[in-house]
Chain A
């Protein structure tokens, strides 16, 4: 799952990116609003974590133009502005959640899962298809109750397909979601990942649609 993180402070940004990656997300980090806008034009994101105090313009302006363009991407504002009017403004401009710095990492991750879950119309975190269950908190996959060890990239690909809820995902779509900007993925191509997933989870789980992509049927 790909996240956009717009944060001007490189230290906070870098740390948060690491923390989010460890939680199983692919993260694109932008240090200003302009970079954030550009990234959103180029890619689609599962969620956006947005700082308000950016050097070029306010994160709230970015949010406004995002919502005016009818974008439905869940947005979590992460700001040092802590007064109730600040939060009300952020939420009313279309943010799905608002967290004040300094924040608790676990809480941020939980809120992130919550806004993504809500946007996907789900009520629980776990994703299930047949005997397969994926727990996005512990990043654990079980088949008929038996845990299966997956590599981070395999997990990401599985999440992408599960989030599609029965609709096929194209190879480019998958690449965009699981690889980070500038990442070298030649040794870990989508085909290779699909192959190893089928080997670990069973041949029938992922179906290939010629010319369309891959799908996990519900």
Chain B
């Protein structure tokens, strides 16, 4: 089952930003709404309480006058005062009068009462403010006692009325927001979308890249937060391009180089077909086999070089004596067939900072070359020496050597100096140098003491 988190994580950035901004906005507006509601409620309560106090005090004066003039032999006609109101004021008063009440006691006699639910049987309310439940309605009451004048004036207001006002204010605040929410969401979406357009631009640029076209992405006029991503993509493109270039180069060279053994194979096959004698055919078949061997060797070396170029190797302490001994025994059948001796002239152990595979591969190519090119019954010496802080490994043979002018060229891919005389791919020294470089070592050709043959030196730097 896919979790909700996973679903959200895979949603588009636009969606996430929309959800994020809109929810923050909603919370923000809600908090403001709640605060405004509370503040409005408090303010209205305070204002209306004040009004009750002022009105009650005002009424005391009016009623006192009334009492002095004629006493309360007849109940006060509250309706008369309503009629004095005009037009709009009266409409407002009538519409809201049901929410208000007034009771006046004079000398413990209820002389004025606007609310039929609170007859004389309901005794005067306690002095000051109180909330009373009258006929299932909550009333805010203010009772003003003036004992000196025998007066109690009670003014009240239904809490619902205040509630209505607060709700009205809150609604006035929230309604425009709710109405404009789709518009706000749309504007947000527009803003996010235009910010995302830079991302789309990058995407379009990446889409245009092909193995043939790996130029870096445009970094000018790019938002600062996209820059690291684009730079990372550019670095990747560069690495890819280099690796593709190397691969293409080796493929082209390999295709070219494979043509030569293939030419020999084809020629051999055609001559075999033309051969009139059994002997001729056998000879052609032998030649064919040799050609196939050459091609396989070439392919093998190409694969080795590719592997060396594309693998990451760790470096650690390796015993060079051990590696040389292993390669010597590996090549023993070949060297013995040629009557050659391979002698090791190095201390045991001779520790170098290297990699087992790389060191073996290097020595296999170097000693293998010595065995192949040096004459029969000659000596091949592997010498190891500490020089400065570093270590030099020399493979010395008594072969034809490599003249000074071609000593650098000999490391180039497929370059062969003694070509044709022995089975070779033109890649052995290329591989060896590549391995050496991966071990931070260097590979160079020298003339051994005595001036004859070749000395190939693998130099490890001081640690």
Contacts and interface: CB of A to CB of B under 8 A. Distances in A.
B270 A11 contact: no
Report, as a range, how many residues of chain A touch the other chain: 20 to 34
Interface in A1-58: 8-13, 15-16, 18-19, 22, 31, 55
Contacts of B256: 80-81
Interface in B250-289: 256-257, 259-268, 270-271, 274, 287
A15 B280 CA distance: 12
Interface string A103-115: 1111000000000
Contacts of A200: none
Highest count of chain A CB atoms <10 Å: which of B260, B261, B271, B421: B260
Nearest to B267: A15
Contact of B419 (A8, A19, A100, A102): A8
B271 A10 contact: no
Contact of B267 (A10, A16, A55, A80): A16
B291 interface: yes
Contacts of A13: 420
Contact of B260 (A80, A104, A105): A80
A55 B417 CA distance: 6
A102 B265 contact: yes
Interface string B401-424: 000000000000001110111000
B294 interface: yes
A203 interface: no
Contacts of B267: 12, 15-16, 19, 102, 105
Given A11-B290, A11-B291, A11-B294, A101 B417 contact: no
Interface residues of B, number: 25
Q: Is the interface of B mostly helix, strand, loop or mixed?
A: helix
A153 B448 CA distance: 49
Contact of A9 (B260, B415, B417): B260
Given A9-B419, A10-B419, A101 B259 contact: yes
Nearest to A23: B274
Highest count of chain A CB atoms <10 Å: which of B257, B267, B268, B274: B267
B52 to A, nearest CB: 105
A167 B259 CA distance: 43
17 contacts: A9-B420, A11-B264, A11-B294, A11-B420, A15-B264, A19-B270, A22-B271, A31-B419, A55-B416, A80-B256, A80-B257, A101-B259, A101-B263, A102-B259, A104-B266, A105-B267, A105-B271
Contacts of B274: 22, 105
B271 A19 contact: yes
Contacts of B287: 11, 15
Highest count of chain B CB atoms <10 Å: which of A15, A55, A106: A15
B285 to A, nearest CB: 13
Contacts of B420: 8-11, 13, 31
B270 A105 contact: yes
Pairs A-B, 10 closest by C-beta atoms: A10-B420, A80-B259, A101-B263, A102-B263, A102-B266, A105-B270, A11-B264, A102-B262, A15-B267, A101-B259
Contacts of A11: 261, 264, 287, 290-291, 294, 420
A10 B263 CA distance: 12
A209 B274 CA distance: 40
